[in-house]
Structure 1
Amino acid sequence: MVVDRYNYIGWVRKKQGKISEAWTSHEQAMQILQKYLPPTHPRLAVTYNYISLLYSAMNDHSSALDCLEKALHIQEQALQPNHPHLAETHFNISIIFERLNKVDDAFQHAKKAIDIGNQAFLTSDDPQMKMYQEQFDKILLLTQSCNELVL
């Protein structure tokens, strides 16, 4: 599908540091999706996830979070509760909350990513699960450090 190509080109451009070109590609993908698909179609969530990465790369974490919350809302309506895409979105939200210094929220979403990954039958040696576990462990340490500071 053309949308997949636009998103892939956008992803490559982001990796190359060509953010404005990445924006153009993802915007083209989003325009096509919004024209032809219902607003709760899971393909929109994929593009929202890509756009959130661009916002994050520009240190606009609030806008990144907005995109991820839109993606999560769509996914919760359209996908099974144990779908791996939900785990990935929770993982991404956890990272953004961490960058916003909202450790408790980051912890909740990191935990949710792990839980969904386990329900989706991802094994502990799966690369995605390893990423989720590393994020969870990092947030757990931050949470413990924050609790020690309060005491």
Structure 2
Amino acid sequence: MGEYSKALEYYEKSLKIREISLPPTHPYLATSYNNIGLVYSTMGEYWKALEYYEKSHKIYEKALPPTHPDLATSYNNIGQLYGKTEEYSKALPLLEKALGIWRKSLPPTHPNIKIVMNAIDRVKEKL
């Protein structure tokens, strides 16, 4: 447990393979960037995580329709990260965007909807 450097090593190897074999806007590249961002976020390296989340998000915006649940996940991840860094005014619109997409693309009882609603409530309390 907690073998973040090993996780990063494998995610980065995967990313290199995908960068060679896939077009630059392929969603699998976005997934690789997102996974690396998640590890950095878990490690508390928020600014490094943000760098990877933003790379992921740019690809998702180009490759996916605007109501795709993976795009919402991207908005959520960046919004949650801004919440962790206490940048609540940046977090709120991203979390609300994630909620809007998930409400259109997921069943109303999906756990992601409840998770982001709770995050929105926490951010609003801080504003």
TM-score (norm 2): 0.95
Match of 1:64 in 2: 49
- Partner of 2:121: helix, strand, or coil? helix
* Alpha-carbon distance in 2 for matches of 1:135, 1:46: 22
- Partner of 2:17: helix, strand, or coil? helix
Match of 2:2 in 1: 17
Percent identity of equivalent pairs: 34
- Partner of 1:77: helix, strand, or coil? helix
- Partner of 1:94: helix, strand, or coil? helix
Matched residues, number: 127
Match of 1:42 in 2: 27
* Alpha-carbon distance in 1 for matches of 2:107, 2:116: 12
Match of 1:123 in 2: 107
Q: CA deviation at 1:63?
A: 1.1
Match of 2:121 in 1: 137
Match of 1:112 in 2: 97
- CA contact 1:124–1:130 (8 Å) conserved in 2: no
Gaps of 5+ in 1: 1-15, 144-151
What is the one-letter code of the residue matched to 1:142? K
Structure 1 segments, 4+ long, off by >2 Å, are none
Q: CA deviation at 1:129?
A: 1.1
Gaps of 5+ in 2: none
Q: Give per-residue Cα distances to partners, 1:101-133, cap 9 Å, x unaligned.
A: 11011001110110111121x233111111111
Of the two structures, which has the highest relative contact order with CA contacts closer than 8 Å and spacing of 6 or more?
2
- CA contact 1:55–1:64 (8 Å) conserved in 2: yes
Q: CA deviation at 1:54?
A: 1.3
